[in-house]
């Protein structure tokens, strides 16, 4: 049976932050905005109002790309896209929907030096990817090109991937994927345009191959949109001998099941 995942919200697979959800992803005391909780430092400047606007993605999901289903189709069920197309990744998971609320938070990490948000995002991802984590060996970020890294001073994907490795106990591989050349800005490009733009833009240097070969690797980024960037990274890791490459992000688009990223 071919099933098109409904991304209408809220549905069984989508849940606005409730106390029950946040108890797992975030300490209740932080919701109450009481100072002094050990983990509250990681939520500095974020209010309960912000939390309740985030739409977390919950099961049932497409087993491969993590697209939320409207109905539980049983274990291992795949969405129409994953049934019809081989994905570059083996599994993808996202903590929440990419909308104006999650975008605001992610942009704070990306452009406003809110690196304190990274640990929180790492815990969101650890929860969203709980079903795939036991099979994984290592965590690695989607790379920024060097000049972008110089301008921004840090790679937001690495800021998330590092604490994710710490909370999951997986090995952290900081730099196995290189961008061959800076990709043009992705803004305004179509999905196919983005994929062409990043085609063959990634490679794994020889010195990293030994740490990649035969491993099950989790590729981390902040957002999954067309999947072009993740697809390029997954292909590079697989070409270097990775046995399996999964993708985990803070937020994914709701309109379409991404091809990968």
Q: CB of 78: closest distance to Zn ion in angstroms?
A: 5
Please give the residues from 170 up to 199 whose contact with Zn ion meets the rule CB under 5 A.
none
User: Which are the contacts of 196, defined by CB distance < 8 A and separation ≥ 6?
Assistant: none
- Closest CB to Zn ion among 85 and 146? 85
The reply on whether position 92 binds Zn ion by CB under 5 A is no
Among 65, 160, 204, 245, binds Zn ion (CB under 5 A): 65
> What is the rounded distance in angstroms from the CA atom of residue 112 to the CA atom of residue 175?
23
Q: CB of 87: closest distance to Zn ion in angstroms?
A: 8
Q: CB of 14: closest distance to Zn ion in angstroms?
A: 15
The reply on whether position 204 binds Zn ion by CB under 5 A is no
The reply on whether position 158 binds Zn ion by CB under 5 A is no
The reply on whether position 79 binds Zn ion by CB under 5 A is yes
Contact criterion met (CB below 8 Å) for 219 and 233: yes
Sequential DSSP letters for the chain: ---PPP--SSSTTEEE--HHHHHHHS-HHHHTT-TT-TTGGGGTT--HHHHHH-EEE-SSB-TTT-PBPSS---TT---HHHHHS--SSSEEEEEEE-SHHHHHHHHHHHHS--TTHHHHHHHHHHHHTTTTGGG--EEEEPPPPHHHHHHHSS-HHHHHHHHHHHHHTPEE-SS--EESSPPPP-TT--HHHHHHHHTT-EE--HHHHHHHTT-EEEEEEEEESSSHHHHHHHHHHHHTT-SEEEEEEEEE-SSS--S--
The reply on whether position 62 binds Zn ion by CB under 5 A is yes
Q: CB of 246: closest distance to Zn ion in angstroms?
A: 13
Please give the residues from 101 up to 130 whose contact with Zn ion meets the rule CB under 5 A.
none
Q: What are the structure tokens assigned to 94, written together?
A: 């996202």
Q: CB of 157: closest distance to Zn ion in angstroms?
A: 22
Name the one range near Zn ion by CB under 5 A: 30-38, 55-63, 98-106, 231-239: 55-63
Which residue, among 131, 204, 118, 205, has the nearest Cα to 161 in the 3D structure?
A: 118
Name the one range near Zn ion by CB under 5 A: 11-19, 42-50, 60-68, 143-151: 60-68
Name the one range near Zn ion by CB under 5 A: 38-46, 76-84, 94-102, 177-185: 76-84
Please give the residues from 218 up to 257 whose contact with Zn ion meets the rule CB under 5 A.
257
- Closest CB to Zn ion among 67 and 105? 67
Contact criterion met (CB below 8 Å) for 252 and 224: yes
Q: CB of 79: closest distance to Zn ion in angstroms?
A: 3
- Closest CB to Zn ion among 250 and 257? 257
- Closest CB to Zn ion among 93 and 195? 93
Among 82, 118, 242, 248, binds Zn ion (CB under 5 A): 82
**Footprint of Zn ion on this chain (CB under 5 A)?**
62, 64-65, 67, 79, 82, 257
């Amino acid at each position: 049976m071919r099933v098109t995942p409904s991304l209408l919200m809220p549905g069984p697979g989508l849940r606005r932050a409730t106390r029950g959800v946040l108890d797992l992803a975030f300490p209740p005391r932080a919701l109450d905005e009481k100072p002094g909780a050990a983990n509250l430092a990681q939520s500095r400047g974020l209010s309960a109002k912000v939390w309740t606007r985030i739409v977390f993605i919950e099961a049932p999901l497409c087993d491969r790309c993590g697209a939320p289903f409207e109905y539980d189709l049983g274990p291992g069920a795949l969405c129409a896209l994953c049934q019809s197309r081989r994905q570059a990744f083996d599994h993808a998971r996202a903590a929440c929907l990419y909308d104006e609320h999650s975008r605001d938070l992610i942009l704070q990490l990306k452009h406003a030096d809110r690196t304190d948000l990274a640990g929180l995002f790492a815990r969101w991802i650890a929860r969203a990817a709980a079903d795939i984590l036991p099979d994984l060996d290592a965590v690695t970020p989607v790379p920024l090109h060097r000049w972008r890294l110089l301008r921004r001073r840090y790679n937001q994907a690495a800021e998330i991937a590092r604490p994710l490795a710490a909370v999951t106990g997986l090995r952290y591989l900081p730099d196995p994927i290189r961008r061959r050349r800076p990709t043009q800005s992705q803004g305004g490009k179509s999905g196919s345009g983005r994929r062409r733009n990043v085609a063959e833009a990634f490679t794994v240097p020889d010195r990293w191959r030994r740490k990649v070969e035969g491993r099950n690797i989790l590729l981390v980024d902040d957002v999954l949109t067309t999947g072009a960037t993740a697809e390029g990274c997954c292909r590079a890791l697989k070409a270097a001998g990775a046995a399996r490459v999964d993708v985990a992000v803070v937020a994914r688009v709701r309109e379409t099941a991404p091809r990968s990223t």
